[in-house]
Chains A and B, each alone.
Chain A
Amino acid sequence: EADIYQTPRYLVIGTGKKITLECSQTMGHDKMYWYQQDPGMELHLIHYSYGVNSTEKGDLSSESTVSRIRTEHFPLTLESARPSHTSQYLCASSGDRGSYEQYFGPGTRLTVT
């Protein structure tokens, strides 16, 4: 199994709360990604990073922010959670070996009430 970790695995919070979803990898990968998986199982890119101090927005505007201060750490923050943010959030990373395959974490299942 790939060495990529996400915490918490499950989270139920109320509307308006600020939350941070953690993602860490021990593979030394430069590229990291956040995907949102909606209840219908569709996956959408929300943020990605090429390396330290690099962040880019994806296709889906999720009203979240990310930071990449260390290579291994790529946290996702929701400043004010809403019920529409209820989803599974998947973190992934990839290296530069030429295959560009991504390794995924176990996901955080978020419910906003």
Chain B
Amino acid sequence: AQTVTQSQPEMSVQEAETVTLSCTYDTSESDYYLFWYKQPPSRQMILVIRQEAYKQQNATENRFSVNFQKAAKSFSLKISDSQLGDAAMYFCASTTPTSGYALNFGKGTSLLVTP
């Protein structure tokens, strides 16, 4: 069984600053994938970044990067130079082959960006 835990229900960051969203996961499988998804208010869920468990290098996508600590089962998301458009609900998720590659989501972190 997989579990994903996001311990921060809400976070706030000022425009242009950096914020880190936390996520821990638990799985007994060696083959798995991790994702961060963003869901803006009343808008579509979109992929922010993904990480394959077999890759040691941390994934980056423009202003978004992850800190993947495999031994600690930690997968945090860092948003640099925060923008007003980054305000959204952020979900951490995991998937494995044995789950049919269905996503197992954390409870989400609501990110507020202040001017």
Contact = CB atoms under 8 A, between A and B. Distances in A.
Interface string A86-108: 00001010100001111111110
Interface in B85-115: 89, 91, 95, 100-105, 107-108
Interface residues of A, number: 25
Nearest to B107: A42
Interface residues of B, number: 22
Given A99-B50, A101-B50, A42 B108 contact: yes
Interface majority SS (helix, strand, loop, mixed), chain B: strand
B102 A58 contact: yes
Interface stretch (B19-27, B40-48, B72-80): B40-48
A12 B33 CA distance: 37
Nearest to A1: B44
B44 to A, nearest CB: 5
